[in-house]
Amino acid sequence: MQEERELVQIRRETWTVLCLLTLVIMALFTLLAGTYQVESGNIWSVLTGSGSALDQHIIFNQRLPRLVAAGAVGASLGLAGAIFQSVSRNPLGSPDVIGFTTGSASGALFIMLVASSMTSSDSTGLPGISIGLGAVLGGFLTAAIVLLLTSHASKNGGTSLGNQMILIGIAVGAMLGSLNDYLLTRADLDAAESAKTWLYGSLNALTWDVVAGPVLLILFFVPATLLLTRRLRILELGDDLASSLGIPPKATLNMLVGAAVLLTALAIMLGGPISFVALIAPQLATRAWKTPGIALCQSSLLGATLLEIADYIAAHALSPFQIPVGLVMGAVGGLYLLIMLIRTR
Amino acid sequence: MAVVGISRVRARQFSLRHSIFAHRRIPLIAFLSLLLLVCLIILSLGIGSRALTPTETFQGLFSPSTTTESIIVWKLRLPRTLAAIVVGASLASAGVLMQALTRNPLAEPGLLGVNSGAAIAVVSAVAFFGITSTGGQVWFALAGAALAACLSFLLGSTRSRSQDSVTRLILAGVALNACFGSITGIITMFNSVAFDSHRFWVVGSVAERTYGSIAAVTPVILVGLVAGLLLIKPLSVLALGDDCAASLGLPLPIIRVTALTAVTLLCGGATALAGPISFVGLAVPHALRILVGNKLSRLLPMSLIAGPILMLGADILGRVVAIPNEIEVGIVTAFIGAPILLWLVMRINSTPKTPRFSKTMRADCSSKNYCTAPSESLNHAKRKHLPHAGRA
């Protein structure tokens, strides 16, 4: 018993170290590799502040923001996914289930395709941040509608809260999804293509002015959300037991879902709706670290690592073409599900 | 005593009258819905950016000539109407079969990965072979849908008897959807023509279909339909549960494979013709269950009338609501279907008041199976598959 516990402990620590190591290695790869080659001998001098101005510009103003954004988006999506999977008690739970992603896509499309044509300015001139804000607004509105309907439905009694949330999320999401398709068919081809790229989720061509604000917020909110871990654990035991232990299930649920929605919103503001990070990271983390229940902190770490790897692939697989990282994650996610299916045959 | 006796007689009379009413109700509903369908067909031939009066419509329809009315009816409106009827009937019957097979009222035929398979085939047809006409794309879409369905059959099949094969199948469909969606995305990233074609295809529309493409999918759909009609009896028995059905001597694997093949043919044919159209396969069976009850022998034939009614109604609405523009039928069905789904969810969650579901449905409901979305039944599968959940 004692030995087994120690073994698990060692296993967990190994995974943590492995994850951090991969994170550092991927960071170095991302900073060094690209169409413009920075010599590996020069990297240290660039990082310490000396080195040629061109090297410094490429590394600090072009590759570093993308790297930081990938890590932050991965961490917040991983954490948000873990919360949703725990709250909905469903390994397939993710921000998609309350329609957040589809709603944010609607918001962004509205800004990109409708608002830009109304103000009759060229659509490419719109700053990325206003698209992000539109997305976040759309996401929040959708999530609010879904949660409102959920609380209305739960008044009639019935099954668990999480269950109803999923069903209502599916319905609202389907409706908004077809609205998005409609908006795409009504735009001209160029606008529709750039909108579609955003919809897949891409970290390409990010600069500090866009990245800085959301990243700082993520750096604050991820640890703040991790403080809720204990409450989440107790809520996992069931609504009744949680309230008998002095934790109001409904208020805690709202707080947790609120935090997860906020993290997703920040991630979407940076990179658009990137699929499958929120789904895979918590599942893999729980298996790797062998935690009881869903691992919050570890999901966050693994999410960051996953997205850095995926972003590296997206930037270099078909270089000089840039694939949106969301497409890479979609392929990875589909393969993950297929592997699970084949393994459990 | 006397009072009790009278009330008993009355009760018997009442129940007698009631049962006669119930007996006559089904043909009445069938007749009324056929009437509605005919009205909608006439409306569908007449309504559009150039509206025709009923007399003009009939003249155009029954005396084919070179008049404007005749050309409008025969070249534009009739193929469109036929396509809507074919697609509606096949999607609705596929939905009935799928829900009977999975015993999950929220199962949708599109879950098998058919839509994304057809999408990737259409995009490839445009990008690699330069085929942009809907008539040429039909064959690709059909092949893609069939390929995706075969793949999800292969991946979803299982050797162990303890696992729910249908749930695995749906999970395989989800996985294939993700992979295919990614590849479709990458192809459309690099090919603007393919992207342009895809964004219109993915909405789902019955406008501008040719007689050729309707003729191409009709045999496929007919085969699926015949298979479905032959399955009415076995599937009704299957509603009692796998064990019960097996003990009554049903060959379960054969029934499952046949039913899924039928669903694939129906759904693949419809998707090839009109693109992915959501909610028809979900909403029609539910509406019918309220009207004619839960018997598969009534549901399946009625779905062949009700599906076209919904599709034609949605298509006409899409033509009318934004004159002079049109809204594609796929968008209209989603906007009609999503509120229906919402209403269903609310209704299911306040169950005790709903007596219209059969015994098996209610039994499922009490075991929480009924109240679950596909994703929740995936949950059960996942619990079995992922060791962590079991150990937790």
A153: nearest CB among B168, B345, B373: B345
Half-sphere exposure of B195 (CA within 13 A, CB side): 20
On the CB side of A136, CA atoms within 13 Å amount to 19
Of the given ranges (A34-38, A289-293, B24-28, B302-306), which has the lowest mean pLDDT?
Answer: A34-38
pLDDT tier for residue B284 given thresholds of 50, 70 and 90: confident
* Mutation for B interface: A113, A175, A190, most B CBs within 10 A: A175
Yes or no, beta carbons of A327 and B346 under 8 Å apart: no
For A246: left if phi > 0, alpha if psi spans -120 to 50, otherwise beta; the answer is: left
What is the tens place of the pLDDT at every residue in B251-268? Answer: 888 888 888 889 888 988
The tokens 């609501």 sit on which residue? Answer: B321
- Enumerate residues 6+ apart whose C-beta is below 8 A from B302: B29, B30, B33, B288, B291, B292
Please say if the pLDDT value at position B147 is more than 70. yes
- Chain A contact present for B189, CB below 8 A: yes
Do B379 and A90 lie within an 8 Å CB cutoff?
A: yes
Q: What is the mean pLDDT of residues A142-156?
A: 77
B203 part of a folded domain: yes
CA–CA distance, A196 with B375 (Å, rounded to integer): 26
Q: Which of B6-10, B97-101, B116-120 has the lowest mean pLDDT?
A: B6-10
Among the partner residues A175, A323, A324, nearest to B334 by beta-carbon distance:
A175
For residue A124, is pLDDT > 60? no
pLDDT level of residue B236 (50, 70, 90 thresholds): confident
Find chain B residues with C-beta within 8 A of A335's C-beta. 175, 179
CB contact under 8 A, A91 and B373: no
**Mean pLDDT for the stretch of residues B72-79:** 83
CA A31, A37, A39 angle in degrees (round to 5)? Answer: 80
* B residues 92..151 contacting A (CB < 8 A): 106
At residue B224, the pLDDT reads: 93
Residue A154 confidence (pLDDT): 65
Model confidence, pTM:
0.77
Computed over every residue of chain A, the mean pLDDT equals 81
Specify the residue for token string 């087994």: A4
Q: What's the whole-number average pLDDT of chain B? A: 76
Nearest CA in chain B to A288: B388
Nearest to A178 among B199, B331, B378 (CB): B331
Task: Tell me if B239 sits within 8 A of B250, measured CB to CB.
Answer: no
Instruction: Taking residues B177-189, report their average pLDDT.
Output: 87
Cβ(B335)–Cβ(B276) below 8 Å: no
Tokens describing residue A222: 């991820």
Is B382 in Cβ contact with A174 (below 8 Å)? no
How many residues are recorded in chain A?
345
pLDDT confidence of residue A118: 55
Compute the nearest-CA separation of A143 from chain B (Å): 15
Residue among B67, B69, B63 at smallest CA distance from B48: B69
- CB burial class (10 A; 0-12, 13-18, 19+) of residue A50? exposed
| Mean predicted confidence (pLDDT) in B220-229 | 93
Least confident window among A277-281, B163-167, B300-304, B375-379? B375-379
Q: What is the pLDDT of residue B387?
A: 38
pLDDT per position as a tens digit, A215-270: 999 999 999 888 888 888 888 888 888 888 888 888 888 888 888 888 988 888 88
Residues of chain B contacting residue A331, judged by C-beta atoms under 8 Å apart = 178-179, 182-183
Q: Does A277 touch chain B (CB under 8 A)?
A: no
pLDDT, residue A257, reads 84
pLDDT for the residue B105: 67
For chain A, count helices (H), then strands (E).
16, 0
Residues B386/B265, Cβ–Cβ less than 8 Å: no
Chain B CB within 8 Å of residue A334 CB: yes
Mean pLDDT of A316-320: 78
Let me know if residue B47 belongs to a domain.
no
B136 or A325: which carries more pLDDT confidence?
A325
Report the distance separating Cα A161 and Cα B230, nearest Å. 41
Question: What band does B86 get if pLDDT is binned at 50, 70 and 90?
Answer: very high
Measured CA to CA, the distance from residue B170 to residue B176 in angstroms comes to 10
Q: Report yes or no on B148 lying in a domain.
A: yes
Least confident span in A79-83, A118-122, B74-78: A118-122
Model confidence band, residue B164 (pLDDT cutoffs 50, 70, 90):
low
Residue of B315, B378, B318, B285 lying closest to B99 (CA atoms): B285
Of B181, B199, B350, the CB nearest to A185: B199
Domain range for A298: 2-343
Find the CATH number of the domain harbouring B342: 1.10.3470.10
Maximal CA-CA distance, chain A: 70
CATH code, domain with A134:
1.10.3470.10
Nearest residue of chain A to residue B388 (CA atoms): A287
Tell me which residues of chain A, numbers 63 to 92, contact chain B at a CB-CB cutoff of 8 Å: 89-92
Position B160 pLDDT exceeds 70: no
A259 touches chain B (CB under 8 A): no
Is B250 a domain residue? Answer: yes
What is the spatial distance between Cα B67 and Cα B81, in angstroms, rounded to a whole number?
20
Task: Name the residue in chain B with its Cα closest to that of A345.
Answer: B158
Asked if A153 lies within 8 A of B156 by C-beta distance, the reply is: no
Looking at the predicted structure, is the pLDDT value of residue A291 above 90? no
Q: Provide, as residue numbers in chain B, all residues whose Cβ is less than 8 Å from the Cβ of A325.
A: none
Candidate from A196, A331, A340 with C-beta closest to B179 = A331
Domain count of the fold of chain B: 1
Is residue B4 in some structural domain?
A: no
Q: Which residues of B touch A340 (CB under 8 A)?
A: 385-386
**What's the pLDDT tens digit per position in A21-76?**
998 888 888 887 777 777 767 777 777 777 777 777 777 778 888 899 999 999 99
Cβ within 8 Å, pair B155-A331:
no
Could you read off the pLDDT of A199-209 as tens digits, one per residue?
888 888 788 88
What CA–CA distance (Å, rounded) separates A71 from A215?
A: 9
Structure tokens given for B289: 């269950």
What H or E segment, with its residue span, contains residue B324?
none
Residue B206 lies in a domain: yes
A260: tokens are 């997860």
- In this complex, is the C-beta atom of A258 within 8 Å of any C-beta atom belonging to chain B? no
Taking CA atoms, what residue in A is nearest to B328?
A182
For A257-277, b/e burial (b = at least 16 CB within 10 A) is: bebbbbbbbbbbbbbbbbbbb
How many beta carbons lie within 10 A of that of residue B124, not counting itself? 18
Collect all residues with Cβ–Cβ distance below 8 Å to B383 and sequence separation of at least 6. A91, B389, B390
In this complex, is the C-beta atom of A289 within 8 Å of any C-beta atom belonging to chain B? no
Of all residues in chain B, the percent with pLDDT exceeding 70 is 78
Say yes or no: A130 contacts chain B, CB-CB below 8 A: no
Whole-angstrom Cα distance, residue B344 to residue B355? 14
Average pLDDT over residues A65-93: 87
- pLDDT tier, B381 (very low <50, low <70, confident <90, very high otherwise): very low
A26 neighbors A310 (Cβ within 8 angstroms):
no
Number of domains in chain A: 1
**pLDDT in the model for residue B372:** 36
Q: Average pLDDT of B35-64?
A: 82
Residues 151-190 of A with CB under 8 A from B: 152-154, 156-159, 163-164, 166-168, 170-172, 174-175, 177-179, 181-182, 184-185, 189
Please determine, for residue B7, whether its predicted confidence score (pLDDT) is greater than 70: no
Q: Which residue has the higher pLDDT, A82 or B364?
A: A82
Which structural domain range is residue B146 located in?
52-369
Query: Could you tell me if B108 and B95 are in contact, meaning their C-beta atoms sit under 8 angstroms apart?
Result: yes
Does residue A290 register a pLDDT over 90? no
For chains A and B, what is the number of CB pairs under 8 angstroms?
180
